[in-house]
Structure 1
Amino acid sequence: MALKRRTKISAAFSMSSMTDIVFLLLIFFMITSTMVHPNAIKLLTPKKATKKVVVEKYLNVRVTSSGRFYVEGKRVGDEAIESGLVAAFNRNDKTIVKLRTDKNASTGNVARILDIAETNGIKVILDIR
C-alpha cells in the first residue's frame, strides 16, 4: 500500500520577513546612535569677572615663526631666554607679560615661554597673530 501525500512540502525559504527585521533593526540603531552624546572635553568658561585687574605695565615678549625670541623688542638667544625674561620682569603684581606669537610659531617655543613664566610666577596674556 503506497500512500502518497496530496501536498508537497516546499524546501524553499522566504527571505522577505528576514529583510523586514533587518531594516527595522537598522532604523532602531540609527535613531539610538543619534541620541548618544560623544565624549568631549568639558571646558570651564569663565563667568562674568567680578575682579578687575589693574595693569601698570606690559612686558612684551614675541616668538616668531622662525623660532626667534624678542623681549621688549630686543632679540634674546635661545639659551638666555629664561634669564632675559626674568631680568626684564618687574616683580610687581601689576606687571603682566604679553606674549605675542606668530600663527606659524612652534608650539614648543611658546610652551617654553609659558613654562618659564609659570616657574617664576609670572602672569601671561597670550596674543596669537
Structure 2
Amino acid sequence: MNLRGRNKVSPEFSMSSMTDIVFLLLVFFLLTSPSITPQALDLLLPSSSGKTKTQGKVTVSISKEGEFYVNATKVEPEEMEAQILSLLEGKEKPSIILRADTGSEVGNSVLVMDIANRNDITCVLATKPN
C-alpha cells in the first residue's frame, strides 16, 4: 500500500508580492516627503521652550545674508509691504510668521515687525523648539 499523498507542498516562498509592496511604499514616501516641508529655505532659527499654536497666513523669511522671502518668493525690502498686503487682503485676523535666521540683523526683523504694526497684522516670531 502506498500511503504517501499525491500533492506535494513546495517549501519555496514567492518574494514578488513582497517586493511589490516595498516598491509601492517607497514611491509613496518619495512623493509625499516634499510636501511635508513647505519652506525650502535653510534657516537656522533661534530656539525657545514655547510653542506656536497659530498657523500664519503669510510667512516672511530672512536669510543670514539679509534676503527677504514672502512665502518662499524672494522680494526686495521696498516691495515687501505691498506683497504682504496683497496676500492678506480680505483675510480675517491676518497674521505673519517671521522666520529670521540667527545670523540675520535685528534691523531686518524690526522692518517686518514695523510693517505688521502699521497695518494691524499679528506678527509671530518662529523659533526652533529646545
Dislocated runs of 4+, deviation >6 Å: none
Aligned to 2:116: 117
Report SS of the residue matched to 1:82: helix
Aligned to 1:85: 84
Cα distance between partner residues in 2 of 1:100 and 1:65: 11
Following superposition, the deviation at residue 91 of structure 1 comes to 3.5
Cα distance between partner residues in 1 of 2:94 and 2:116: 12
CA RMSD for the aligned pairs? 2.1
Report SS of the residue matched to 2:83: helix
Following superposition, the deviation at residue 56 of structure 1 comes to 6.5
Question: Is this contact kept in 1: 2:57–2:88, CA < 8 A?
Answer: no
Aligned to 1:65: 64
Aligned to 1:99: 98
**Structure 1, residues 61-106: CA drift from partner, whole Å, max 9, x if none?**
1011111110111001122111111112243234421110100111
Amino acid at match of 1:67: G
Aligned to 1:48: none
Cα 1:83–1:55 change in 2 (3 A) is same
Cα distance between partner residues in 1 of 2:54 and 2:94: 6
Cα 1:59–1:72 change in 2 (3 A) is same
TM-score, normalising length from structure 1?
Answer: 0.52
Report SS of the residue matched to 2:64: coil
Question: Is this contact kept in 2: 1:61–1:100, CA < 8 A?
Answer: yes
Following superposition, the deviation at residue 112 of structure 1 comes to 0.4
Following superposition, the deviation at residue 60 of structure 1 comes to 1.0
Aligned to 2:49: none
The percentage of aligned residue pairs carrying the same residue is 26
Question: Is this contact kept in 1: 2:93–2:122, CA < 8 A?
Answer: no
Question: Is this contact kept in 2: 1:103–1:128, CA < 8 A?
Answer: no
